[in-house]
A and B are shown apart, each in its own frame.
Chain A
């Protein structure tokens, strides 16, 4: 077997340095809150802050709602396209790619203009619904690709006909045959969505929602070390969800990468 050239190792080392340094620096910075000693003071003060718990809970609930709605829209649609309307596949693929063309800031701009002076924008609950709707749109590229790959791996037609011949109706087929069969694929889409929603800033901030992303940013105007601690928490969260995704989707196919910027 050939040995990797020195160049390969040089690029690898340079790359590792560039990627490791900011993470190390953030972690080191987050430990300096108490003058003259290294400790977890910043973390303690972050976790004690009531804003942390409430914004974290808000984003967590929003992420769950986003995942549920997105799954309820994407799974039946993709299933139906596989089964009955294969000619629609290019159109669905194109539509689910559109969120890449319309940046988050443009999406939220359009949404708040289009729904100006409707219950979706002039009430607090309405804005939250609008936020979830925007996140559902952002999740489409990941969810669709995940579910589409999952459905390709199973014989949709055979499963459907088998269920029908046993007397199953559409809801039964969907929820007791199709959903369980694409569950792992669905989970992998769900983890990216979760990572994105938990860290998202632009849409939440511009819709004035008390989410985790805006909270991190807000804290930076009054605190020095705590934002670094929150950045570490946020990175760990992303790492955990993407790590779970990669562990789940070994062999299921790759998800399109990318996140909130």
Chain B
């Protein structure tokens, strides 16, 4: 065996064939466990949601479940979630961009840049429930900032509530900004210094440089990342759950789906499936748009 193997390999190498090209059926076996696992625990459950959305309780095809999505409280919930995701993607995206711009700009000490980027890596992983508590400790009725402002005579309650739309938005933005910073910092680094110098030597002001050169180049990755932030907020569940208690005022779609699972009270299996289907469709659109924009972005910004 040990003696024949080298010659065997020499022959294969000489003929330029991949070692097992003549026995492809075996090569596929190597990836079988992975496919079986992801099939069983991701693809099948997702496919089941899609199929069951179009079946009634007795297994007959129906469009009733999808039609039921038109109920006022569901439409309200979807619009609310879309608005929340869009607002936090936009504001978080803008703030994250400015922050990324600040730390990548020339003359910013390297240690600040490194510190901000590593903190962004950590903060983008801060989990939902503790994050909600952090904001309760900050902007809740007894929160640090609330009390501090009250001390100087400004009372933010009841005009503002952490449990309202803007309270949720402010909390979501905490995990949106770091993601934006992490993705935009390399893109900003990709802006070549020669482009700026060329613009300046032609007499462009900083504003003209950004307006005509910088932003157009960055636009696809800017928009793409904001789309990603939209999906990031749209799928969020724990943060909203901890802030709203997942109770009757449940407003975010993920909480509605969770409630379909945990309580049998208003459990209509078909409706739950259709709700989940709606989420999958919106997330799939989001990722498709992101991938497309990312491809546009790569034309200029090679990593």
Contact = CB atoms under 8 A, between A and B. Distances in A.
Q: Is chain B found bound to chain A in the same assembly?
A: yes
B60 to A, nearest CB: 18
Contacts of B103: 8, 12
Contact of A29 (B129, B144, B283): B144
A19 B176 CA distance: 12
Nearest to A77: B34
Contacts of A217: 129, 241-242
Interface string B83-111: 00000000000010011011101111000
The winner among A8, A99, A103, A108 for most chain B CB atoms within 10 A is A103
Interface in B175-197: 175, 177-179, 182-183
Contacts of B262: 205-206
Interface stretch (B62-70, B118-126, B153-161): B118-126
A254 B35 CA distance: 26
A22 B138 contact: yes
Given A102-B42, A105-B258, A19 B27 contact: no
Nearest to B283: A101
Given A12-B103, A26-B137, A257-B178, A220 B232 contact: no
Interface of B: 1-2, 5-6, 9, 18-20, 27-28, 30-31, 33-34, 37-38, 40-46, 48-49, 52, 95, 98-99, 101-103, 105-108, 112, 116, 118-131, 133-135, 137-138, 142-145, 174-175, 177-179, 182-183, 231-239, 241-242, 254, 257-258, 260-262, 269, 272-273, 276, 279-280, 283-284, 287
Interface of A: 1-5, 7-9, 11-12, 15, 18-19, 21-26, 28-30, 73-74, 76-77, 80-81, 84-85, 88, 92, 95, 97-114, 133-134, 136-137, 140, 161, 164-165, 167, 192, 195-196, 198-202, 205-206, 213, 216-217, 220, 227-228, 230-231, 234-235, 238-239, 242-243, 245-246, 254, 257-261
Given A22-B138, A28-B144, A109-B276, 13 more contacts: A8-B101, A12-B103, A12-B112, A77-B34, A100-B287, A103-B279, A105-B254, A108-B261, A165-B9, A220-B242, A239-B122, A257-B120, A261-B175
